[in-house]
Amino acid sequence: MTAIPIPLQALAIRDKKVYVFGTPQLPVSPVRIYLDVEGCPDEGYDYLVGLIIVEGDKEQRFSFWADDRDQEDWTFQQFLATVTNYADFLVFAYGGYERAFVRRMQKRAERKTVADRVLKSMVNVNALIYAHVYFPTCSNGLKDVGASLGCLWTDPNASGIQSIVWRMRWEATHDEHWKQQLLTYNMEDCVALRRVTEFLYSISATSESAQEPRTATESKPRVARVEEIDRLGSVNRRGKIQFFHPDYEYINNCAHFDYQRQRVYVRTSRMLKKNRKKPRRYRNRKLRVSQRVQIVSKKCPSCGGMELIHWERGKKVSGYSTKRKKAFDLVFTSGGIKRRVIECRTSIHECLQCGKIFIPDRYQGLAKHFHGLMSWAMYEHVAHRIGCPMVKEMFQDFFGLAVCHQEITKFKSIMARYYRPGYKKLLDKIMSGQVLHVDETEMKLRTGKGYVWVFATAEDVVYLYRPNREGDFLLELLKDFRGVLVSDFYTAYDSLNCPQQKCLIHLMRDMNQELLDNPFDEELQSITGPFGTLLRAIVGTIDQHGLRRRFLGKHELGVAKFFQALTAQSFRSEAAEALRARLIKYQEKLFTFLRYDMVPWNNNNAENAIRRFAYYREDTPGRLKEAGLRDYLALLSFCHTCRYKSVSFLKFLLSRKQDVDTFCQGRRRKRRRPAIEIYPKGVVRPDFAGANRGNTEPNTTGE
């Protein structure tokens, strides 16, 4: 399964539309050949070559079948002989499998030049889709994409693994039935490939509308062009310059730092030549396996039957593995961190009761990176503010592990999801406290602006994302709040119906600025002077006794006198009058803390938390998307809460506890590490690092 950029894909699924980005460039030829090859991946040979040849209105279908390995050459010769009937043709295939087949056969074919022509005329339809089209499907597999265009398969269960089992059955029994199943399945793939390709032609630059006679049964999906790709935020085109001359663009691209090092200097520098980046294919493949896990299902998922057999290479085996994949983890000991490579194996299972063929869910959903590894990455990212590209380098340098940028980004969402219940709990806890500090700040996102609110007590912090600065949501959020709200003078807080304490540091700074602006205003000084004396006396008491109502209560008289005098006065000075109005307006909210225990007179707790976030904001100006920011804020809430409670954020993450209080209570007890970890529902194993593909940029020409 190919991993695909999520936002546009999600949009496509939601709108049930096909989104087209840019214009696919398809080559033109009078003859189009649709090729699909079936093989036994375990044994390394292919046994069925299916093709549909379309020339004008004429369509021909061919299937070349090999009984065993020896006949493989024959199928290829037949294929070449059919193709050579045409002077000019294009061969379409879905994915890289067919190309690998032709290339492998070419090496031992007699008619090398014909095979060469086939290779040159091959077009990978999957790559074209990857670059340009977002179908309303969960994957870019031929089954899903074809189905969205109305293609049907005779056997609804038809799939890659199903076909392997059919072939195994045929090899075991030589029953014609299984062969027929395979021939049908293969030809239906060709038909689907044809339909998908013709759909691409219909939206491409070389669209020949006359050539697509659409039948009534063909379902036409709605197509939308993505012109404002930036607004939709799926492809990062930040800082891309529009060049008037194509030549300028070419020259500009040639000057990129990486390009120069890899293409230009490398020609003359021996050192660079030696260190040239290796192709990114299978980079983690050679790592030594530290643990092997065999995954076997005991029960059929559809009927619950317990009688299962396992398939491998045309024969039944017991619990023997035919499929394997790797997972990676980091293990923390008191003396260091160690890489762990886990290899999971499983076999294709068949239920004898209902005939269901399946691979265990635990194998399908196997996480590629386990909790310990993700914890380390997120710890570095959130606590030390190390960017994802740098974390990637650290993985390589410290652990010899290739983890790509997108995967690290994905860790963030997986981890945020894991900690979501704890995040909710944290927010509830803060909302039920005696004191609540609140503050907010703005953040530039890739698509416009967002706002981050922070809610804090002396030992807990929660960051919350809001798309706008409006405070309406506070009414709902704080409807059960019974404590004192500490905030700055932002008007959104004014309407909240709870005792409030405004930050007096803010007020004092504002007053100070007024004094500096109006140095000779004696009326102004007649307010600020007594206010300073009053506050200084209060702070003195706090210094001595802490925030205790018993000791602070004696200042209430002074406060009352201050306001009494202020109300009676009137000023000619504008600045003094404005300050008087402000103080009287907030009269009830300036000295609330005198009547409570443990309510501070400033908003330090929230402002400190906001500052932590501001550092991060500097590191990622306008690069984040809303979902990424939400995930980050959830993790940052835990990081900062740990800091307030003086416990290690890393140890908290590694403990797998979902909230910090539980972690603090039961710190001694150690949980056993599970042998394997499974992704939560809906998370797809990423294949970015080149498990299927050589590089992350697909080629549009099929090369």
Where do contacts with Zn ion occur on this chain (CB under 5 A)?
300, 303, 305, 351, 353-354, 356
> Smaller CB distance to Zn ion: residue 211 or 302?
302
Q: CA distances (Å), 178 to each of 525, 532, 585, in order? A: 97, 93, 86
DSSP state of 24: -
Q: Give min distance, CB of 304 to Zn ion, in A.
A: 7
> Smaller CB distance to Zn ion: residue 351 or 367?
351
> Smaller CB distance to Zn ion: residue 172 or 303?
303
> Smaller CB distance to Zn ion: residue 356 or 548?
356
> Smaller CB distance to Zn ion: residue 233 or 305?
305
Alpha carbons 348 and 491: distance in angstroms, whole number: 64
Q: Give min distance, CB of 352 to Zn ion, in A.
A: 8
Q: Which amino acid is at 625?
A: K
Q: Give min distance, CB of 308 to Zn ion, in A.
A: 8
> Smaller CB distance to Zn ion: residue 103 or 356?
356
Q: Give min distance, CB of 354 to Zn ion, in A.
A: 3
Q: CA distances (Å), 544 to each of 138, 142, 397, 455, 593, in order? A: 64, 75, 53, 28, 16
CA-nearest of 552, 598, 553 to 437 is: 598
> Smaller CB distance to Zn ion: residue 161 or 650?
161
Q: Contact, 171 vs 314, CB < 8 A?
A: yes
> Smaller CB distance to Zn ion: residue 340 or 356?
356
Q: Give min distance, CB of 90 to Zn ion, in A.
A: 44
> Smaller CB distance to Zn ion: residue 154 or 353?
353
Return the residue matching tokens 């700040």: 441
Binning the chain into helix, strand and coil, the percentages to the nearest 5 are 45, 15, 35
> Smaller CB distance to Zn ion: residue 165 or 390?
165
Q: Give min distance, CB of 301 to Zn ion, in A.
A: 8
> Smaller CB distance to Zn ion: residue 353 or 695?
353
b/e map of 643-679 (b: 16 or more CB within 10 Å)?
bbbebebbebbbbebbbbbebeeeeeeeeeeeebbeb
Alpha carbons 618 and 314: distance in angstroms, whole number: 59
Q: CA distances (Å), 298 to each of 175, 201, 303, 309, in order? A: 29, 48, 12, 10
> Smaller CB distance to Zn ion: residue 205 or 303?
303
> Smaller CB distance to Zn ion: residue 305 or 314?
305
Q: Give min distance, CB of 350 to Zn ion, in A.
A: 9
Residues with Cβ < 8 Å from 164, sequence gap 6 or more? 40, 41, 311, 348
Q: What is the DSSP string of 145-189?
A: HHHHTT---SSTT--HHHHHHHHHHHHHH--HHHHHHHHHHHHHH
Q: Give min distance, CB of 83 to Zn ion, in A.
A: 44
Q: Give min distance, CB of 305 to Zn ion, in A.
A: 4
Torsion of CA 645, 647, 652, 658, to 10 degrees: -20
Alpha carbons 123 and 88: distance in angstroms, whole number: 14
DSSP state of 288: P
Alpha carbons 461 and 639: distance in angstroms, whole number: 9
E strand or H helix that includes residue 49: strand 45-55
Q: Give min distance, CB of 360 to Zn ion, in A.
A: 13
Q: Give min distance, CB of 158 to Zn ion, in A.
A: 18
CA-nearest of 592, 367, 563 to 500 is: 592
DSSP state of 202: H
Alpha carbons 125 and 195: distance in angstroms, whole number: 11
Helix, strand counts (H, E) of the chain? 28, 20
Q: Give min distance, CB of 355 to Zn ion, in A.
A: 7
Q: Give min distance, CB of 307 to Zn ion, in A.
A: 8
Q: How many degrees, rounded to 5, is the angle at CA 32 between CA 31 and CA 34?
A: 150
Q: Give min distance, CB of 358 to Zn ion, in A.
A: 9
E strand or H helix that includes residue 32: strand 31-40
Alpha carbons 602 and 193: distance in angstroms, whole number: 67
> Smaller CB distance to Zn ion: residue 359 or 427?
359
